[in-house]
């Protein structure tokens, strides 16, 4: 049976924009974040404290975070790859961070320049500091349905990494189909394997739509009991270390599907479409969301 309520984690300002080659000014990011808040989103991933040499678009993350007029009840997690990133986060008063591991050795190397084991050790140090500062920590596992370098990934590997992050103290584990290659039954098998080690209510689905499977995959895992979905307004994004990956599933498309099934989210469709239109206009492109296009045309 399907959940009555779903929490949508909006990742557009971070996962969406990190891949844009043209620099997006901090004021535009801030306006986007504000419009997303107004649409009723309660979690908005606002940026990352990573090396600006690796991901130049996120270099303004401290400035962006400091300028957000935070709305009560809304959280603004920031990605942190190491202790250096955590220091930057603490310096601007961040209350929630996300650490990001992967189920593939090759992807981990390309993305954060270390092995899976090294990344877990690194994140253990980050976690310890985060605990001392009372930060909430979300954990990501990338490449859960396939890797751009290694191809198929065994569900056991995914479950192992997810369990390690959960046992370390992450309150939620987001499972990323980074390249968007998965299909529904495979998504269910992966979720079932992870749920043997991490409670289902602690799992989030973070699916990309490269092969047009994201909504089908989401529906498949909703049926298994997942009730947290990561998505990106207007379908922004990709991944700098996953060539050819298109954006995250569009928040508008997810909301339309959930609304149609009577599942509550607290998100307002017309305000969401407006947020998507704002950033698409800035980037001078059509929203990747089919729902947004249909509603704008109507």
Closer CB to ligand HMG, 97 or 269, in the complex:
97
* Pairwise CA distance, residues 66 & 47, whole Å: 11
Q: Please report, as residue ranges, which positions from 30 to 49 form the binding site for ligand HMG (by CB under 6 A).
A: 48-49
Say which entry of Mg ion, ligand HMG, none residue 289 contacts (CB below 5 to 8 A, set by partner kind): none
CA dist 288 → 140, 158, 168, 171, 210 (Å): 24, 29, 36, 31, 11
Say which entry of Mg ion, ligand HMG, none residue 234 contacts (CB below 5 to 8 A, set by partner kind): none
* Pairwise CA distance, residues 4 & 97, whole Å: 27
Helix or strand or coil: residue 108?
helix
Let me know: does 180 contact 209? Beta carbons within 8 Å: yes
- Answer yes or no whether residue 177 interacts with Mg ion by CB under 5 A: no
Among 61, 104, 111, 231, binds ligand HMG (CB under 6 A): 111
Among 108, 142, 213, 265, binds ligand HMG (CB under 6 A): 142
Among 57, 61, 82, 217, binds ligand HMG (CB under 6 A): 82
Q: How near is the Cβ of 173 to ligand HMG at its closest, in Å? A: 11
Say which entry of Mg ion, ligand HMG, none residue 54 contacts (CB below 5 to 8 A, set by partner kind): ligand HMG
The stretch among 9-17, 73-81, 89-97, 276-284 that binds Mg ion (CB under 5 A) is 9-17
- Answer yes or no whether residue 112 interacts with ligand HMG by CB under 6 A: yes
Closer CB to ligand HMG, 246 or 273, in the complex:
246
Closer CB to ligand HMG, 100 or 293, in the complex:
100
13 secondary structure, DSSP code: I
- Token pair for residue 265? 């989210």
User: Residues near 27 by Cβ (< 8 Å), separated by ≥ 6?
Assistant: none
- Answer yes or no whether residue 15 interacts with Mg ion by CB under 5 A: yes
- Answer yes or no whether residue 123 interacts with ligand HMG by CB under 6 A: no
Beta strands in the chain (DSSP E): 7-10, 43-44, 47-48, 78-79, 96-102, 136-142, 172-177, 203-207, 228-231
Closer CB to ligand HMG, 51 or 259, in the complex:
51
Say which entry of ligand HMG, Mg ion, none residue 182 contacts (CB below 5 to 8 A, set by partner kind): none
Q: Which of 129, 47, 152, 137 is nearest to 101 (CA)?
A: 137
User: Residues near 194 by Cβ (< 8 Å), separated by ≥ 6?
Assistant: 144, 155, 158, 159, 162, 163, 173, 175, 203
Catalytic residue among 143, 147, 170, 239: 239
* Pairwise CA distance, residues 10 & 44, whole Å: 5
Say which entry of ligand HMG, Mg ion, none residue 21 contacts (CB below 5 to 8 A, set by partner kind): none
Among 29, 138, 157, 206, binds ligand HMG (CB under 6 A): 206
- Answer yes or no whether residue 45 interacts with Mg ion by CB under 5 A: no
Among 84, 133, 243, 285, binds ligand HMG (CB under 6 A): 84
* Pairwise CA distance, residues 71 & 230, whole Å: 20
Q: Which of 18, 4, 107, 28 is nearest to 58 (CA)?
A: 18
Binding site for ligand HMG (CB under 6 A): 15, 18, 48-51, 53-55, 79, 81-82, 84-85, 88, 100, 111-113, 140, 142, 176, 178, 206, 239-241
Binding site for Mg ion (CB under 5 A): 15
């Amino acid at each position: 049976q399907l959940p009555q309520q779903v929490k949508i984690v909006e990742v557009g300002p971070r996962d969406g924009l990190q891949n844009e080659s043209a620099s997006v000014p901090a004021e535009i990011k801030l306006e986007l974040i504000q419009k997303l808040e107004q649409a009723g989103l309660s979690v908005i991933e606002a940026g990352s404290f990573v090396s600006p040499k690796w991901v130049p678009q996120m270099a303004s993350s401290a400035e962006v975070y400091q300028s957000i007029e935070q709305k009560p009840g809304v959280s603004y997690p920031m990605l942190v790859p190491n202790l250096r990133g955590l220091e930057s986060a603490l310096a601007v008063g961040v209350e929630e961070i996300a650490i990001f591991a992967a189920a593939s050795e090759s992807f981990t190397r390309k993305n954060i320049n270390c092995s899976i084991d090294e990344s877990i050790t690194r994140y253990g140090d980050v976690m310890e500091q985060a605990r001392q500062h009372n930060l909430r920590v979300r954990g990501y596992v990338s490449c859960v349905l396939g890797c751009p370098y290694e191809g198929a990934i065994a569900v056991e590997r995914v479950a192992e990494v997810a369990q390690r992050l959960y046992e370390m103290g992450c309150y939620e584990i987001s499972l990323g189909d980074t390249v968007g290659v998965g299909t529904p039954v495979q998504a269910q098998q992966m979720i079932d394997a992870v749920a043997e080690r991490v409670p289902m209510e602690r799992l989030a689905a973070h699916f990309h739509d490269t092969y047009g499977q994201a909504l089908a995959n989401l529906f498949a895992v909703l049926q298994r009991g997942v009730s947290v979905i990561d998505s990106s307004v207007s379908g922004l994004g990709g991944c700098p270390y996953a060539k050819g990956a298109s954006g995250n599933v569009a928040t508008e498309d997810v909301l339309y599907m959930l609304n149609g099934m009577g599942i509550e989210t607290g998100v307002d469709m017309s305000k969401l479409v407006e947020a998507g239109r704002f950033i698409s206009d800035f980037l001078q492109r059509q929203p990747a969301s089919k729902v947004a296009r249909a509603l704008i045309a109507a």
